[in-house]
Chains A and B, each alone.
Chain A
Amino acid sequence: MGQFNSTIRVNTTSALPIPINLIASTSGTTGEFNETGTLEVGPFIDALFTGVGVLSTKQCGAKGAYVYVQSPSTNLYAIKLYGWQQIYEEFNEETFDGIESFATLQPGDSILVPLSAQQNGVVAASTFGTGLINYYIADRAGEFGKSVIAVTTFEDSYSYFVLDAELGEALPSVGVPFYSRSLGIATSDYTYTGYTIVSDKGYVLEFYRNSDSSQRIRVCINSRGEVADQLNLTTSWYFYDLDNKGWAALYNDGLNTFIKYFDGEQVYSQIIQSDSFDIYSDWNWAAADGSFLLGLDNYLNEGIYAYVIINKDKCFKVCQPIGWVDEDSFAVNIFANFVFLTRYDNDNGWYVSVEIYDTQGNQLQFIDLSGYQSNDLNWRFYGTNKVTFILNDYNNNYDYIWAYNGATNHLTSTNIDRTSYGSRNIYTNQKWIEDSIRPWNYTWNSGQFEPESLVLAYYNIKNEQSYFINIVTNHCQFIYLFDTDSDFSSYQFTNGPNKYIRLPNDGNGYSHEGGGFNRFYPAKNSFVFLTSTSNFVDGALTALSFTKNGVKETTVLSDLSSVYNGYNDITFKPVGDYVMMNWYNPYNNQTTYTMFYDNPTTNKIVKDSLVLPGEETGAGIWRDRFNSLLIRSWYYSSPRNWYFNTSNGKFTELTAGGNSFSAIKPSYATFLFNKSTVDQGINDGNILLSPNMNEVIGAAYYSDAAHRGYNNNMRLIKSGVVTNNVVLPTSLGSENSLWLGSNSVVYFYQEPDRDSLYTANVYDLNLTLQRTVQFTESINKVAMIGERFYVQTAVTDKISKLFLLTTTNVATMTAFESDIAFNDYYWWDYLS
């Protein structure tokens, strides 16, 4: 990525009736490519058949490209420029008489022209003989696929359209406000049943034949709105939504397995000789690149059951059962591009190997387990691209531990003599695929930290206390591996003397839901255990912090008995790079929030605390996103809000214009998280505040009739840094909502003086107003979907207008009554 700038200056050198002194500039982030050079071009016919004169063979993104062409003054003849798409279409129709150049450059002329995505490139040709051109073409950043699709009936057949928010126009046609493409599927013959979205790009439209429901049609539509393939399936195919990484249709006729795979752009086909197939999805359905796992019986008629990776139109055999493959361990993870399996010696009853492959079927790692003669093997995916294997060799009472990092193809190992350690907890966290595609991540505490580390606690229990959390141990050792560390580290907490430590049950280590006291979260660069000098009732309470800088003990409370009365507990959880601790002291009726941070520069633990009156604990009081923590106290007559300021490491009260931010209308909820903002399982750290809105619906606030007319405010906390306060326009109408998207905030409201006029103010995440769009028709639906804000207005009972608003574009088109879906939003029913 980079920056592309162009400037034009036009000014008079002598008097004109209208003075001219104009400078115009354009700039933008470039996309995947830019090319420059000198071409010798020939006649148009050469370009047509040989490609000579084509400026670039690359496919530009949704926002097209900028093209500069200069014909040097030394040329003898003119140069003509053509749009490649038009040539392509005429070529297919075998009629070339309609091809027209869009520009003619005389010697010395130059042209700078924005190229839309549909023009698909530029071809230069000389009008006679040969000529030279200097050219520069820069792809503009922007991908296809932020789209809405609708299926409708039109003239007795099904039709669909795609409206792309990035492109700003309807696909695949340019500039046609009313567009639909007929599928040629008669409504009298087939029934439409719904969509599957694929890879946040494409769609699969589903139909069955009315006279025979076993006859199915699947129409695969790519991100450009083109039909990638239409599958007319007349037998009993099985269809698989591969965790949104791909879509597959499989069928076996007893001799062959037929596979169709759609990655959102292209449909791939293959036929593999086999009697039957099994699909494996114990962890996830697909790897990060969409590869998925099959078992094929009588593979290639060789009389074996083969375990294979299906990667688009390729099939890679990785194993056949010499011994027994533990099928639960033939697994992929959608954050990783590797596959692992474990092999078991069924005759002897022990594991013999762990094997790791890439998605091309190449073996990356082989762990020989045959010498241990053990059938006690644990394995877990965790974080991104990582997996761990723990083998207990009960013959000599050792644990052997391996951790594999798929990003670096690094395998590391260690072992521990368990003679003094009767118990073992495995602490890992897996990222959750739902985070990126399900709508509920905005309320759950998912994605607040990077679960990239592995921690194992070995200990000997002397006394279990509450909920198997607080224990007394005389032997306790930690083995851990931070994110990109190449080797394990270890720390001996006690080796004989009794000590007190909180060791949550490792069964909760999977959980991504915070707020509980029996959870444990090894984050990317740190994790913390609580220890007590006494019995977790009195004595000092200490945080035992593990970071890449080492292990430190920090006193949290000098005397636990001053705050602990037997029932209250301490919440401890990571908030991005920080760890938050929260407890209530019943003796002085105060609540404390503390944020810890290991400063890599000073190698010191930094902490700041906020003490509030009253019992102010629980999820209703604080909200967190990655590196963002917001706390609201209801104790005061007007509730007050604080956030943890990551720029100075201090809790800071939120105020607006000198007044308490939430005091304007304090009775309403003030937290808002957005949907579709989780990248690789980590949320974006954004929390929007708006005090006069009362109801959280999806990603929006609404205000009710009693509170319209206020000059409402909003502020956005972004990873612990808060924006300035922004005053929103006054609205008196019933439509009045505030939406937080992945890169914009939209305030949608009814103008107070005109019932039929609606306005959408689109702000960027600095809360700077980017554009204002007004709507004069009645509103059917509004919603924020990731990067775009969706508005549907009613033209008639059957016809509506659709709008996709982003900070840079407004895409719009007219549509018949139809079924609406977004290709990165699973729950499209909500919007239809």
Chain B
Amino acid sequence: MSTPSLKATLRLESTDVLTNSVNFTVAATEQIKGDKDFQSISIPAAAIVSAFGPSLSADSSNTVYFYAQAASTNVGSVEVWITDLNNIQILVATLRPADFIWMPLAVKGSNVTVALKNLDVTNRSLVNLFYGYRG
């Protein structure tokens, strides 16, 4: 099997809201190669689950592109937490239903993890995940 290759394209557009720049459109493309993961995680109510990591010192790249999308059918929100190389926990974002995040993770070294916390204390929340080492 050939080396897996992924292409992710981010497109951001807003056609009618800008006051300082009309019809603002940005597109960015990243080529991602190497390791991969893609899955859906169903997080129990009020639970915390691991979504990535821990990264290893032997990882092949300094950067991992991480993508997470909260299902639009979710009832509550999901938090995205990072534990960095210094073992410090950082709340990166709160994903409301249908929200997504697209971000690079600096994983040079080891023990970088991403955890998802379901703020819904009654219902499970579904999150689609994808990450890949930057080529």
Interface of A toward B, CB cutoff 8 Å? 1-16, 18, 20, 22, 24, 26, 30, 33-37, 63-64, 68, 70, 78, 83, 98, 100-106, 109-116, 119, 134, 136, 138, 168-169, 174-175, 177, 771, 773-775, 801, 803, 808-810, 812, 814
Please indicate the chain B residues that have their CB under 8 angstroms from the CB of A34 in the complex. Answer: 14, 17-19
Interface centre among B20, B77, B95, by most chain A C-beta atoms within 10 angstroms, is B77
Which residue of chain A has the shortest Cβ distance to B3 in the bound complex?
A14
One of A4, A37, A109 near B63 (C-beta < 8 A): A109
Known interface pairs A8-B8, A106-B62, A111-B102; 18 further A-B residue pairs with C-beta atoms within 8 A, sorted by A's residue number? A8-B10, A8-B67, A9-B8, A10-B9, A12-B7, A15-B4, A35-B20, A36-B21, A78-B106, A100-B88, A105-B104, A106-B104, A111-B103, A112-B101, A116-B94, A168-B96, A177-B46, A808-B97
> Chain A contacts of B20 at CB under 8 A?
35-37
Given contacts A8-B100, A10-B130, A106-B62, A3 and B15 within 8 Å (CB-CB)? yes
Please give, as numbers and ranges, the residues of chain A lying within 8 Å of B120 by CB-CB distance. Answer: 810, 812
**Which of chain A's residues have a CB closer than 8 A to the CB of B95?**
114
Closest partner residue, chain A, to B76 (CB atom): A810
Cβ A111 vs Cβ B24 within 8 A = no
Q: Which residue, of B16, B79, B102, has the highest number of chain A Cβ atoms within 10 A?
A: B102
Residues of A within 8 A of B11 (CB): 6-9
* Contact in complex: A773, B17 (CB < 8 Å): no
Q: How far is the CB of B99 from chain A (nearest CB, A)?
A: 5
Q: Is the CB of B26 within 8 A of A134?
A: yes
Interface residues of B in 75-100 (CB under 8 A from A): 75-77, 79, 82, 84, 86, 88, 90-100
Residues of B within 8 A of A7 (CB): 10-13
Cβ of A103 and Cβ of B103 under 8 Å apart?
yes
Docked Cα-Cα span, A8 to B100, in Å, equals 9
27 A-B pairs with CB atoms under 8 Å apart are A2-B15, A5-B13, A7-B10, A8-B9, A8-B69, A10-B8, A12-B4, A12-B5, A12-B7, A20-B38, A26-B99, A34-B14, A36-B24, A68-B26, A102-B92, A103-B104, A104-B104, A110-B30, A116-B93, A134-B26, A136-B26, A174-B91, A175-B79, A773-B122, A773-B123, A809-B76, A812-B120
CA distance A302 to B63 in the complex (A): 73
Minimum CB–CB distance for A410 against chain B, Å:
30
* Contact status A138-B67, CB under 8 Å: no
- Decide if A3 touches B17 in the complex (CB within 8 Å): yes
Of the candidates A4, A11, A33, the one whose C-beta lies within 8 Å of that of B7 is A11
- The minimal Cβ–Cβ distance linking A16 to chain B, given in whole angstroms, is 5
Checking B46, B73, B76, B121 against A168 with a beta-carbon cut-off of 8 angstroms, the contacting residue is B76
- In the complex the two chains form, what is the Cα distance from A109 to B62 in whole Å? 12
Name the CB-closest residue of A to B101. A113
Q: When the two chains form their complex, are residues B14 and A30 in contact, meaning their CB atoms are under 8 A apart?
A: yes
B104–A109 contact, CB under 8 A?
A: yes
Q: Are A68 and B14 in contact (CB under 8 A)?
A: no
Q: How many whole Å from A766's CB to the nearest CB in chain B?
A: 17
- Do A114 and B121 touch across chains, with their CB atoms under 8 A apart? no
Q: Does B41 contact A (CB under 8 A)?
A: no
Residue on B nearest A177 in the bound complex, by CB? B121
Q: Which of A14, A37, A106, A808 has the most CB atoms of chain B within a 10 A radius of its CB?
A: A14
Q: Which of A9, A35, A64 contacts B94 (CB 8 A)?
A: A64
Q: Tell me which residues across on chain B come within 8 A of A36, comparing CB atoms.
A: 18, 20-21, 24
Of listed B1, B75, B117, residue having the most chain A CB within 10 A: B75
Question: Nearest 5 CB-CB pairs, A to B?
Answer: A2-B17, A104-B106, A116-B94, A2-B16, A112-B102
Name the distance in Å between B100's Cβ and chain A's nearest Cβ. Answer: 5
The CA-CA distance from A773 to B120 in the complex, in Å, is 11
B58 at the binding interface (Cβ < 8 Å): no
Query: Chain B at the A interface: mostly helix, strand, loop or mixed?
Result: strand
With A8-B9, A775-B122 known as contacts, the answer to whether A24 contacts B100 (CB < 8 A) is yes
CA distance in complex: A620, B87 (Å): 69
Point out the residues of chain A lying under 8 angstroms from B102, CB to CB. Answer: 8, 110-113
Measured between C-beta atoms, what is the minimum distance from A349 to chain B in Å? 57
- Cα-based distance from A809 to B123 in the complex (angstroms): 13
Do B6 and A12 have beta carbons less than 8 Å apart? yes
Contacts of A6 in B (CB 8 A): 10-13
A20: B residues at CB distance < 8 A: 6, 38, 130
Partner of A110 from the list B28, B84, B119 (CB cut-off 8 Å) is B28
Report how far A322 CA is from B133 CA in the complex, Å: 82
Contact status A138-B17, CB under 8 Å: yes
The answer to whether B119 touches A16, judged by C-beta atoms less than 8 angstroms apart, is: no
A413 to B126, CA, bound (A): 65
Q: Which residues of A contact B104 (CB under 8 A)?
A: 103-106, 109-111
Which residues of chain B come closer than 8 Å to A22, judged between CB atoms?
38, 128, 130
Q: A114 and B94: CB pair below 8 A?
A: yes
Known A34-B17, A100-B84, A114-B101: A15·B2 in contact at CB below 8 Å: yes
- In the assembled complex, the Cα of A134 lies from the Cα of B25 at a distance in Å of 12
Inter-chain CA distance A95–B92, complex, in Å, is: 21
Among B24, B69, B105, point to the contact of A24 (Cβ < 8 A): B69
Q: Which of B1, B17, B19, B97 has the most chain A CB within a 10 Å cutoff?
A: B17
Rounded to whole Å, the gap between the CB of A532 and the closest CB of chain B is 55
By the criterion CB–CB under 8 Å, are B17 and A30 in contact?
Answer: yes
Q: Of the candidates A5, A64, A98, A112, which one forms a contact with B103 in the assembled complex, judged by CB atoms under 8 Å apart?
A: A112
With both beta carbons as reference points, the residue of chain B lying nearest to A80 in the complex is identified as: B106
A773→B10 contact, CB < 8 A: no
CA distance A242 to B133 in the complex (A): 60
By a CB distance below 8 angstroms, the chain A residues around B21 are 36-37
Asked if B75 contacts A169 (CB within 8 A), the reply is no
With a cutoff of 8 Å between Cβ atoms, the chain A residues found around residue B3 in the complex are 14
| Closest partner residue, chain B, to A108 (CB atom) | B30
CA separation between A357 and B15, bound complex, in Å? 41
CA distance A35 to B24 in the complex (A): 10
Identify the interface centre among A14, A112, A136, A803: most chain B CB within 10 Å of its CB: A112
Which residues from chain B contact A30 at a C-beta distance below 8 Å?
14, 17
- For the complex, what is the distance from the CA of A68 to the CA of B39, rounded to whole Å? 24
Q: Give the Cβ gap from A125 to chain B, nearest Cβ, in Å.
A: 15
Q: Which of B6, B28, B67, B122 has the most chain A CB atoms closer than 10 A to its own CB?
A: B122
Contact between B90 and A102 (Cβ–Cβ < 8 Å)?
yes
Q: Which residues of B contact A104 (CB under 8 A)?
A: 104, 106
